[in-house]
Amino acid sequence: MSFQAPKGTFDWLPPSSEQVLAVREALVAPVRRAGYGYIETPVFEDTQLFARGVGESTDIVSKEMYTFPDKAGRSLTLRPESTASVLRAVLQHGLHNGQLPVKLWYSGSQFRYERAQKGRYRHFWQVGAEALGAEDPALDAELIVLGVQGFAALGLTGVRLLLNSLGDRACRPAYRAALQEFLRGLDLDADTRARIDINPLRVLDDKRPEVQAQLAGAPLVVDHLCAACKAYHEEVRSLLTEAGVAFEDDPRLVRGLDYYTRTTFEFVHDGLGSQSAVGGGGRYDGLSEMLGGPPLPSVGWALGVDRTYLAMEAEGLLAGDATGRLQVYGVPLGDDARRRMFLLVDELRRAGVSADMAFGGKGLKGAMKGAGRSGARFALILGERDLAAQAVQLKDLTTAEQTEVPLAQVVDVLKGKVQ
Ligand code: HAM
């Protein structure tokens, strides 16, 4: 019997696994430069954290959670997102009692039992950043700018920024009622009707053309913002404009999580088909209180690493592969040479030169093939005659030029060449 990775999951293998590591690093470099500290939380949490935090009425909580009892009967859930976990950790450790905002970033696996398709997986990777405990439009703008910079650092040019405001507890209820009244007058199926009561904003997000056609005249939240939310939103918009960040106002942008207030945004890429969001986020001023904490107005985003990789593929940015990391490849011929090469490779690595060697007793031809495939720039060929002369053949695999170097000097010679 042979096993396959579970449906909706896949393995990252070299060389693309190296590229995806580089993607993660590039996406978080801007927030690290902006004073965000690294946080790691468990991949599973008390189920109630997500039920309350993300919201019972969302697809994530009602359909997509990997929930299981542990051996003591506690209900645990593999994290479908990390904002609730980060806030839980902040409250648990009292980080909010120090300097505000608390700025944190993370990188890790997320789990959602979704209908699997290209760009939508059951196990996927996000990097994220959260700024907790400050209500300031400059903080919203900062995070958006840092997200834009992450995508730009990867060379992506096709990422668009969609921006909206969802109002706050002062103005959202009246908007929600107006939207519900409008939706009740439409010709919708039973499931969608049920949604009107539970989560009417999500109906706006229905992708079916027959539903979209009826939504043309739906009331928009931007037209129902209270004065404070309107001023806040205008300030975010003007800071982004001043920072030279292009955005599109999208009054129909609603997000799939219930905790959002005011600023919401999404980064989309048109080369990805229907799963076009490469990242998203917004402000969640009420989440702390929903989790039993003090008022802690906060804002954050998460960027999809797998989808960002796909976007890079769509833009042809992955052409040069990342196999060039190995610098030296050892080719020992015979047992004595193999023993000496084992030590030489170790010495090279200690000196900071990346090195590998042929294993499995390969002959010259097979080992040289291995050297070529390894992507290394140099091969070190060590035969019996070389050993007797205390020398090694150094071959530059890009020019095929070969020189003899004394064994005692080869580490220094290579150190000089690979720098
Ligand atoms: P989200 O929009 O659910 O937000 O996810 C953020 C990003 O994760 C998406 O834009 C997408 O790139 C990626 N993503 C989501 N689901 C999948 C999937 N099934 N397969 C592949 N990639 C996926 C959040 O998770 C919020 N916690 C963001 C946030 C942080 N809001 C405030 N702070």
238-286 residue pLDDT tens? 999 999 999 999 999 988 888 999 999 999 999 998 899 999 999 999 9
Using the predicted structure, report yes or no on whether residue 16 has a pLDDT greater than 80. yes
Is 36 a known ligand-binding residue? no
User: What residue spans in the chain does CATH classification 3.40.50.800 cover?
Assistant: 326-418
Cα(264)–Cα(161) distance, integer angstroms: 11
Residue 325's pLDDT band (boundaries 50, 70, 90)? Answer: confident
- State whether the Cα torsion 317-319-323-327 is positive or negative: negative
pLDDT at residue 177 in the model:
95
Residue 324's pLDDT band (boundaries 50, 70, 90)? Answer: low
Mean pLDDT to the nearest integer, 150-168: 97
Q: pLDDT for 357-366, tens place per residue? A: 999 988 999 9
Query: Which of 307, 309, 310 for a ligand 1 pocket mutation test, highest count of atoms within 8 Å of Cβ?
Result: 307
Please answer whether residues 164 and 222 qualify as being in contact, where contact means their C-beta atoms are separated by less than 8 angstroms. yes
Please answer whether residues 134 and 101 qualify as being in contact, where contact means their C-beta atoms are separated by less than 8 angstroms. yes
* Helix orientation angle between 16-33 and 137-153, rounded to the nearest 10 degrees: 150
Mean pLDDT to the nearest integer, 67-85: 98
Residue 411's contacts (CB-CB under 8 Å, 6 or more residues apart) are 344, 347, 348, 351, 353
125 Cα: distance to centroid of ligand 1 (angstroms): 9
Of ligand 1's atoms, which has the minimum distance to the CA of residue 80?
25
Is 202 a known ligand-binding residue? no
Residue 199's pLDDT band (boundaries 50, 70, 90)? Answer: confident
Using the predicted structure, report yes or no on whether residue 127 has a pLDDT greater than 80. yes
Residues of the chain with pLDDT > 70, as a percent, come to 99
Question: Is the CB–ligand 1 distance for residue 64 below 6 Å?
Answer: no
Least confident of 36-50, 145-159, 192-206, 314-328: 314-328
Give the CATH architecture of domain 326-418: 3-Layer(aba) Sandwich (3.40)
Of the candidates 27, 10, 39, which has an alpha carbon nearest to the alpha carbon of residue 304? Answer: 27
218 Cα: distance to centroid of ligand 1 (angstroms): 26
SS3 at position 346: helix
Of the candidates 303, 244, 267, which has an alpha carbon nearest to the alpha carbon of residue 26? Answer: 303
What amino acid is encoded at 122 in this protein? Answer: R
177 Cα: distance to centroid of ligand 1 (angstroms): 28
CATH code: domain 16-171+225-314 is: 3.30.930.10
Say what the pTM is: 0.94
Beta-carbon count within 10 A of 2 CB: 3
Is 16 a known ligand-binding residue? no
Question: Is the CB–ligand 1 distance for residue 114 below 6 Å?
Answer: yes
* Phi, psi for 150 (deg, rounded to 5): -60, -50
Bridge partners of 128? 106, 302
For ligand 1, atom 15, which residue shows the shortest CA distance?
Answer: 304
